[in-house]
Amino acid sequence: MSPPSSTQQIPDAPLVPQHVAVIMDGNGRWATARYLPRVTGHVKGVDAVRNVVRACAERGIGYLTLFAFSSENWRRPADEVSTLMRLFSTVLEREVGKMHANGIRVKVVGDLTRFDARLQEQIREAEEKTAANRVLTLTICANYGGRWDILQATNRLLADRPGLASVTEADLAPYLCMAHAPEPDLFIRTGGEQRISNFLLWQLAYTELYFTDTFWPDFDAAALDDAILSYQKRERRFGRTSAQLVEVRKAS
């Protein structure tokens, strides 16, 4: 069964976010500011991924979702795209064993058909190996776009149930590629831009948004704590008034 939807009922608003979703922006600018090639920024970005995965697990965050490569990123210079592909492959090769030992489940979501056969195979193996782990679910969004997700879900639903006259949230939910996770409590974008950039469009409906100027390679456990602190100061009303929330929470 899919996790509860924030547009249907009031989900728990835990003190530590259960699900954190991140746009890891600023790798290129981090490198350029140091007169280094942009790809060095991505390599440093992998170190930041490792640190943030560890920090999330230590803080009891159950789900971390990272936007690693958008459907639009194919428009980047060819050498940068191929470096990113090599990096994904290296990360899977080198890190999955360690992640598995630490109870981390790895999922990769997006239109994976455009990746080469070897990378697709590595992804399948990583998902299979770590499928039963529950300390933290790390979802990597690769060749992903929020609009793509909503359309692929709708098309697969209609293929399964061709007679459907109208579609409800509950119908669609199991077909969305984040069906394995609750909706994010906290969204973080590093690198100073304040946009969603076609990330998790459906799932971010009631997520708390946090933007920081810190470039992704510099984002560490302390920066994560700043984001969590900001999240903890928010009142999540899910469309209700403060007074209603008090009543609902008293009754539950």
| DSSP 8-state code for residue 212 | -
Pick from 45, 110, 182, 184 the residue near ligand FPP by CB under 6 A.
45
Is 91 an interacting residue with respect to ligand FPP (CB under 6 A)?
yes
**Rounded least distance, CB 92 to ligand FPP, Å:** 8
**Rounded least distance, CB 224 to ligand FPP, Å:** 15
Rounded Cα–Cα distance for residues 147 and 199 (Å): 8
Q: Name 182's Cβ contacts closer than 8 Å, sequence gap at least 6.
A: 3, 4, 11, 18, 19, 63
Pick from 18, 25, 137, 139 the residue near ligand FPP by CB under 6 A.
25
Q: Are 201 and 150 in contact (CB under 8 A)?
A: yes
**Rounded least distance, CB 37 to ligand FPP, Å:** 11
Nearest C-alpha neighbor of 236 from the set 198, 195, 192, 205? 205
Pick from 20, 21, 24, 106 the residue near ligand FPP by CB under 6 A.
24
Pick from 6, 27, 137, 212 the residue near ligand FPP by CB under 6 A.
27
| DSSP 8-state code for residue 240 | S
Is 54 an interacting residue with respect to ligand FPP (CB under 6 A)?
no
**Rounded least distance, CB 187 to ligand FPP, Å:** 15
Q: Give residues 191-230 in contact with ligand FPP (rule: CB under 6 A).
A: 191, 216
Instruction: Output the DSSP codes for 23-37.
Output: E---HHHHHHTTT--
Residue closest to ligand FPP (Cβ):
28
Strand segments (E) across 49-164: 63-70, 104-109, 136-144
- Annotated catalytic sites, by residue? 25, 73
Rounded Cα–Cα distance for residues 44 and 9 (Å): 40
Rounded Cα–Cα distance for residues 129 and 123 (Å): 10
Residue span 123-142 as binding mask against ligand FPP, x where in contact by CB under 6 A, dash where not: -----------------x--
Per CB under 6 A, residues contacting ligand FPP are 24-29, 42, 45-46, 49, 66, 68, 73, 84, 87-88, 91, 140, 191, 216
